[in-house]
A and B are shown apart, each in its own frame.
Chain A
Amino acid sequence: MIARILATAATEIHIARRNRWVLIAVLLMVVFSLVLSAAGSAPTGALGADRLSVVVASLTSLSVYLVPLVALLMSFDAVAGEVERGTLPLLLTYPVARWEILAGKLVAHTAILVVAIAAGYGAAAAVAIITDPAALAGLAALWRLTWTSVLLGMAFLGIGYALSSLARRVSGAAGLAIGLWLGLVVLYDLGLLAAVVADDGGFFTTQVFPAALLANPADAFRLFNLTAAQATSAASGIGGAANAIPQWQSLVSIALWPLVSLALAALAFRKVEP
């Protein structure tokens, strides 16, 4: 079983390397992390926090957008691509379970995500620590951001596999992935904020809003990292809401989402008839 998962993972890594996905993911993370850490270095004195903690707050906002995007870009082709190329029937005649195929792809794509995240965050952290030795105090926050980013990425990899299985066409899967990214990462927050403003402190704001935040893996990720880093909560608009929700709840959400999305992906893949 492990051998078959690793065989699939090795193949996927070959493919990602040839298709420049590894390079693109790493470059994307490094460039954006450096740009953000440079832009976010101005208010350090005013907040009285160390420089790395400020960088982590900036990176949190960046990762909410970028990590799901990279994960979806890598995963939307996973099943639909095999169907469209005609490689799936042959693969399924091999003594390999469908979930093992997905697991192999997950291992490869997660490994690429880990490399990209480590490179991006590492570069930003290195810059912060070189310019301000006191920034070492922020390493704990950076570590927390790193492993939650990986979980966030896995959640969206699973979502991408599920969409890929449901769409069965590469073009359809790509459309669904972009739509879902826009919905969950961009429009979801806007909608919630609009509703909160309209509700003006009523039932929606106190009951529905926190649950809605926890239900979205991207929001749970942001909540967790912002509640953990109290010093920088002022830096974010959603930060106010973050204080109202206990940290363990957002932790449960980001830990559960990868499992849920991968289970959905496995279910959707089982329905694909080659």
Chain B
Amino acid sequence: MTSTLTISRLTKTFGGLNALTEVSLTVAPGERVALLGHNGAGKSTLMKIILGLITPDGGDISVCGAAPGSARARAQVAYLPENAAFHPALSGLEQITQYMRLRNLDPSGAMELLERVGLAHAAKRRIGTYSKGMRQRVGLAQALIGQPRLLVLDEPTSGLDPVSRRDFYELLDGLAADGAAILLSSHALTEVEARTDRLLILSGGRMVAEGTLPDLRREAALPVAMHLSALNGYESDVVAALPGAIRANGFVHLTCAQDEKLAMLSRISAMSEKISDLDVIPPSLEDIYSHFSRRDGQ
């Protein structure tokens, strides 16, 4: 199947500053892709270009087979802005009703949408009285209107509590299962790694990494850490037997490359009579993320 979103060599500068440099990516139908990067990495700029809100300086982009921002593209794309804002004088129901009518849909389904995001009880209250999390849910509800083929979600879970986050990702799973392509941005790798199919890391306007988490883990090739507890009196023996091992806080600490991990473990197990315990600590998600996002930018 062809991609819902195809971007190649996209470039955008703001007053001489490179916001995006030769960014390429694709998102296929039913695929959930996370866009990661720190503040100013270019995530929001990239999303605004996909939505046709700003025009790129160079590169090609195709959204559902149409130009970004064209009527055909807009009819099939839903957007959730970073801080979803609405007119405070409108009720949630009125706001969703307007958005449904703008998409030429029967607004009688508005209440059902609000129920799906858990806002039915507040549907008739003014959005001005909503909490940040509730406003975010209104934003989410409007992104679910119709059957969007592509969802562009800018930090969709900011302001949501852990339970709401879980509900949110369950909603996304359902949408992806129906064939929608999903591009969502986030600061935190820990949050999205289990809920998305592929990760993209932007840094300083460049795409610095792309792939599944195991791909990225392999590519980063960060060392594995091991903590050993030696039996009384054997500590010096253990340190001497293992290259690169050091003593710290009564433990023996060492690191080794991914591909040396098994060899190291067999050396350790060879002297199992001297060791009481062993912890293997793979590089954390944050370590991997930091590795990529610092490599080029900053």
Spell out A's residues near B (CB within 8 Å). Answer: 3-4, 6-8, 10-11, 14-15, 18-19, 85-87, 89-90, 92-97, 273-274
Contacts and interface: CB of A to CB of B under 8 A. Distances in A.
B54 interface: yes
B53 interface: yes
A93 B77 contact: yes
Contact of A7 (B53, B101, B142): B101
6 contacts: A11-B98, A15-B90, A87-B87, A90-B85, A93-B53, A93-B74
A95 B75 contact: yes
Task: Select the residue from A15, A93, A274 with max chain B CB neighbours within 10 A.
Answer: A93
Task: Select the residue from B74, B78, B126 with max chain A CB neighbours within 10 A.
Answer: B74
Contacts of B54: 273
Given A7-B98, A90-B142, A15 B71 contact: no
A89 B98 contact: no
Contacts of A14: 89-90, 94
A19 B71 CA distance: 33
Given A18-B126, A93-B77, A93-B79, A87 B101 contact: no
Given A19-B89, A89-B48, A90-B142, A4 B81 contact: no
Given A11-B94, A89-B48, A90-B81, A96 B87 contact: no
B87 A94 contact: no
A87 B86 contact: yes
Contacts of A95: 71, 74-75, 102-104
A87 B142 CA distance: 13
Given A4-B102, A14-B90, A15-B90, A89 B71 contact: no
The 10 A-B residue pairs with the shortest CB-CB distance in the complex, in nearest-first order: A7-B101, A18-B89, A86-B85, A93-B79, A95-B74, A11-B98, A95-B75, A94-B102, A93-B51, A15-B89
A93 B71 CA distance: 9
Contacts of A85: 85-87
Interface string B64-106: 0000000100110111010111110110001101110111100
Contacts of B74: 93-95
Nearest to A8: B98
A85 B128 CA distance: 12
Nearest to A91: B102
A90 B80 CA distance: 7
A11 B97 CA distance: 9
A90 B94 CA distance: 16
B161 to A, nearest CB: 23
A3 B106 CA distance: 11
Given A8-B98, A10-B97, A85-B86, 15 more contacts: A3-B101, A7-B97, A14-B89, A14-B90, A18-B89, A87-B87, A89-B53, A90-B84, A93-B74, A93-B77, A94-B99, A95-B71, A95-B102, A97-B71, A274-B53
A15 B90 CA distance: 6
B90 to A, nearest CB: 6
A96 B75 CA distance: 9
A143 B102 CA distance: 36
A85 B87 CA distance: 7
Contacts of B98: 7-8, 10-11
Nearest to B102: A94
A221 B103 CA distance: 40
B50 to A, nearest CB: 10
A97 B51 CA distance: 14
A41 B52 CA distance: 60
A87 B102 contact: no
A4 to B, nearest CB: 5
Contacts of B103: 94-95
